[in-house]
C-alpha cells in the first residue's frame, strides 16, 4: 500500500510524522525526556543529531499520551532481549520510532508488533553495491536489472521495508537482511518467506520514504506530529 492509509474511525495503529524545522522550542521539549534520555541526548556531538533525537523521543511521548492518556514524561521503558524497547506495565501497547536527517516518525499500535523506518532519499548512494552486499540475492538482482534512474527508488523502498520489518520483529540486525526478501509489485509488496505481516509505504514529505510493518491485520491512520508539538 503506498501513500493512502486506511482512515477508519477506530484505527488500532497510528503513525505520527514530523518534518524538523529547526525552530522547535527545544528547552520546552527537554522537560519531556527522562533522565536517561537526557543523558543520551547530551552525548551527541552535533546539534542536528541532538535535535533529531529530541524530536523523535518527544514525539513518541506526546503521541503515547494522546493515544492512551497520562503525562508524557511519566512513560517508562524497558528493553527486550534483542534491544527493542517496550513500555513498562503496558506490553499490549507497542511502539517504534525512526529518524533521519530532517524527519522523525513514530508508530503506536495496540496488540500488534510494529516497526517503522523513514529515510531521506535525496542523497548519493551506491545502490547496486550496497544491495549486493546486504540485500537478499533476489532483491539485489532486481535492482541491478532496473534502469539507472529507477534503481535508487527501488533501493529505498526495499531498504525501508526491510528496516521496518526487522524493527517490528524486535530482532534488529540479529535477523540477517539476506534471510528474507521483498518483491515490489503493482498491487503491493510481497514478503518471502511469507509471514503474518501487513506493510504500508508512504512518501511522507518530498525527498523522504517511509515504510511501516505490523504483525497481523491492522488499520492505520497517519497523523501530523506538528499538532502535538504546537500544543506543548
User: pLDDT tens digits, residue range 39-64?
Assistant: 999 999 999 999 999 999 999 999 99
8 within some domain: no
Confidence at residue 127, expressed as pLDDT on a 0 to 100 scale: 95
Residue 179, domain extent: 13-231
Confidence at residue 170, expressed as pLDDT on a 0 to 100 scale: 87
Cβ distance 60 to 106 under 8 Å?
yes
- 62 C-beta neighbours (distance < 10 Å), count: 22
Alpha helices per DSSP H over 113-185: 127-134, 137-145, 148-169
Confidence at residue 5, expressed as pLDDT on a 0 to 100 scale: 44
| Structure-block grid coordinates of residue 36 | 536517561
5 within some domain: no
7 within some domain: no
Cis peptide bond N-terminal to 44, omega within 30: no
Confidence at residue 12, expressed as pLDDT on a 0 to 100 scale: 85
120 within some domain: yes
44 within some domain: yes
Confidence at residue 11, expressed as pLDDT on a 0 to 100 scale: 65
Confidence at residue 69, expressed as pLDDT on a 0 to 100 scale: 87
> Alpha-carbon distance 196 to 147, whole Å?
32
31 within some domain: yes
Closest residue by Cα to residue 41 from 82, 99, 93: 99
- Regions of the chain where pLDDT drops below 50: 1-10
Which CATH number does the domain housing residue 124 bear? 3.90.470.20
Count: domains in the chain? 1
Q: Which residues, including other chains, have CB under 8 Å from residue 65's CB and lie 6 or more apart?
A: 71, 72, 75
38 within some domain: yes
Amino acid at each position: 500500500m503506498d501513500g493512502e492509509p486506511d482512515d477508519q474511525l477506530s484505527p488500532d495503529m497510528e503513525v505520527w510524522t514530523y518534518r524538523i524545522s529547526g525552530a522547535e522550542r527545544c528547552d520546552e521539549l527537554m522537560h519531556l525526556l527522562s533522565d536517561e534520555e537526557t543523558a543520551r541526548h547530551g552525548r551527541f556531538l552535533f546539534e542536528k543529531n541532538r535535535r533529531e533525537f529530541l524530536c523523535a523521543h518527544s514525539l513518541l511521548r506526546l503521541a503515547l499520551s494522546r493515544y492512551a492518556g497520562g503525562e508524557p514524561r511519566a512513560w517508562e521503558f524497558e528493553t527486550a532481549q534483542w534491544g527493542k524497547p517496550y513500555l513498562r506495565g503496558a506490553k499490549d501497547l507497542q511502539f517504534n520510532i525512526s529518524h533521519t536527517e530532517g524527519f522523525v516518525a513514530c508508530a503506536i499500535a495496540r496488540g500488534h508488533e510494529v516497526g517503522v523506518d523513514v529515510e531521506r532519499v535525496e542523497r548519493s548512494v551506491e545502490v547496486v553495491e550496497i544491495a549486493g552486499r546486504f540485500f537478499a540475492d533476489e532483491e539485489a538482482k532486481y535492482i541491478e536489472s532496473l534502469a539507472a534512474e529507477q534503481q535508487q527508488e527501488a533501493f529505498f523502498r526495499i531498504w525501508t521495508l526491510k528496516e521496518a520489518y526487522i524493527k517490528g520483529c524486535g530482532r534488529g540486525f540479529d535477523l540477517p537482511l539476506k534471510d528474507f526478501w521483498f518483491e515490489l509489485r503493482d498491487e503491493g509488496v510481497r514478503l518471502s518467506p511469507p509471514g503474518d505481516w501487513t506493510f504500508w509505504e508512504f512518501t511522507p514529505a518530498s525527498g523522504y520514504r517511509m515504510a511501516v510493518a505490523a504483525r497481523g491485520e491492522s488499520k492505520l491512520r497517519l497523523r501530523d506530529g506538528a499538532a502535538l508539538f504546537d500544543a506543548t
